[in-house]
Amino acid sequence: MDYSDAIEDFLHYCMINDGKAKNTVDAYRRDLAVYRSFMHERKVDLQKISHLDILEFIRFIRETRRPTSVNRMGSTVNGFHHFLYNQYKIHDPTTKISLHRAKNPLPKTLDRDQVERLIQSFSDSLIERFQRTFCLCLFSTGLRVSELCGLTLNQVYLEEGIIRIIGKGNKERIVPIGKAAVSALRDYLENIRPKWLRRSLSSVFVGPKGLQLSRQYVWSVLKYKSKELNFEPSISPHTLRHSFASTLLQNGADLRIIQELLGHSDISTTQIYTHIESDRLHRSYDEFHPGRLLKEENENE
């Protein structure tokens, strides 16, 4: 079996048997393309890959990629070799190594004032009302950008103030929409979308050219706004998702509820937000609590 056949079998298994989302499978495909290229350059046969080859691959990607990408690619390679062993009894070199996950930086979030600045920065033109609406929806619901772009009319219940999301692994969840987002959505659906619609589309978010909203467009708007508002580093759709979760936690929401609203299958994924709040508490303590002065006073005695 060569690399191409093995990778296609693995991806097919992930999509059909494991029910992985298309975006997840696409990420696996990209990861394994890099892995295959690395092994091809070193003329390493698929059935002769050793744990040393994999360690070399991890060292290679750590030089050029962020910790989150390294962790994901390492996990993809692990899953790929586990699959080959279980399906074809091709030896699994990952059993001989423990891939230590690189430490991920805490996700960036916006505070309430920053969110207000972002939302208020949009004008009342049609295009900027459209942009304000999808930004409000991201912050008010915590949707992934792919979920936002793929949202259809039959998933939105404005009177009830909820949306029905089909997330990763085709899992369904119900997410409330904030009043501001409901108002903006109603305005967009009644006064803007009909003017832009060129053909029958079920997508909620349709741009000026009559096409479904794309992830790239959302990213570009937030990148532009980051520069305009001097947000450093630049914010992304995921920044608004993180801000949604962090705001809920700040206001006393239970972690299990946040997990359900975000569509996380594992509570450990949601627990990253407790680290954000812990970090914020420490900064506040250092800035305002008189205890911060004790060490300085002792050093001056």
Is 199 designated active site? no
CB 156 within 8 A of CB 185: yes
C-beta atoms surrounding 143 within 10 Å: 26
∠240-183-165 over CA atoms, to 5°? 55
d(CA 229, CA 78) in angstroms, rounded, equals 42
- φ/ψ of 64, rounded to 5, equals -125, -5
**Which residue is catalytic, options 117, 168, 186, 223?**
168
d(CA 273, CA 265) in angstroms, rounded, equals 15
**Which residue is catalytic, options 108, 164, 173, 238?**
238
**Which residue is catalytic, options 20, 72, 241, 242?**
241
Which DSSP letter does residue 164 get? E
CB 35 within 8 A of CB 57: yes
Helix (H) or strand (E) holding 237, with range, is helix 237-250
Is 264 designated active site? yes
Is 144 designated active site? yes
Place of tokens 């060490």: 295
Is 117 designated active site? no
- Output the DSSP codes for 3-66: HHHHHHHHHHHHHHTS---HHHHHHHHHHHHHHHHHHHHTT--GGG--HHHHHHHHHHHHTTS-
**Which residue is catalytic, options 20, 81, 132, 144?**
144
Phi/psi region, residue 68 (left: phi>0; alpha: psi -120 to 50; beta: rest), is: alpha
Place of tokens 């979030």: 109
**Which residue is catalytic, options 72, 81, 193, 264?**
264
d(CA 31, CA 34) in angstroms, rounded, equals 5
Q: Which residues are catalytic?
A: 144, 168, 238, 241, 264, 273
